Amino acid sequence: MAPAFSHAHHHHTHRLARLPPWFTRWLGYRASPPPPQPVYIVWLWSFIAAFCGISLIQAVFGHAAYFIRRGVPSIVASYGATAVLIYGAIEAPLAQPRALFGGHFIGALTGICVTKLFHLLPTEEKFEKLLWLAGSLSCALSIVFMQMTSTTHPPAGATALLAALNTEVREMGWYYLPVVLLTSALSLAVALIFNNIQRRYPVFWFGPTVSIPAPVDPDLGGPETDSIQGESERSTANGTSAESISPKREVSSVV
């Protein structure tokens, strides 16, 4: 009789494996990991992708009459920071599509809601005086909401802040949401093309982001480094390599 959990040991086939390789490579799927590239290749493609991504966004929103009539800025400034992540740090959990779309949308939605609540104040003068509070609340709340939904994307904090403090963005109102979604889609389209020529992006599509904590610098002191140093001294006295007791780094899960 077969074990009850024998199916758990079967190799899981990724859904994208059923599609042609020439297509799935542009979605980040590889049957085997791509070889590491020299740093100058990484620099080259980061530059090309960032230049093309930012240019495409400005071409769409800065020259299309549809967006010009609605007073849409040529680019939402926070996407400059997004470019650093999705074109230059493409393996970072915070640079994946889930964080890109979810983070910016949550940031924009939070900023709009908070700002509209402050617009209920009796006079415009009081509203202007409390804009600093609206911006602070927008940014802080968006961080918490992104943490709750596993969509943390640092530039999205600025997306929330702009909804309160930037007049051009504030005047768009709810129209800010589709603008942010379209900007994210354009940014992602460029990333899927240029990041998959000699590199690989995304690492995952929908899996939740997992932080990778950095080891504590011994020069900073603290209980973590004190315990590590004590173990290192004891192991050295016993002839054991200090590297064997160094803190283990967590690895981000890919879903």
Give alpha helix (H) positions in the chain: 21-24, 39-63, 65-69, 78-88, 97-118, 124-129, 131-149, 155-165, 167-170, 176-194, 223-237
Residue type, 224: E
Q: Enumerate the domain spans of the chain.
A: 37-194, 213-244
Q: What is d(CA 207, CA 227) in angstroms, rounded to the nearest whole number?
A: 34
Model pLDDT, residue 226: 60
CA distances from 33 to 69, 96, 225, 232, 255 (A): 46, 17, 35, 35, 15
Model pLDDT, residue 30: 73
Q: What is d(CA 110, CA 132) in angstroms, rounded to the nearest whole number?
A: 15
Contact 46, 88 (CB under 8 A): yes
DSSP state of 243: G
pLDDT for 64-88, tens place per residue?
999 999 999 999 999 999 999 999 9
Q: Is the pTM of this model over 0.75?
A: yes
pLDDT for 198-208, tens place per residue?
888 888 888 75
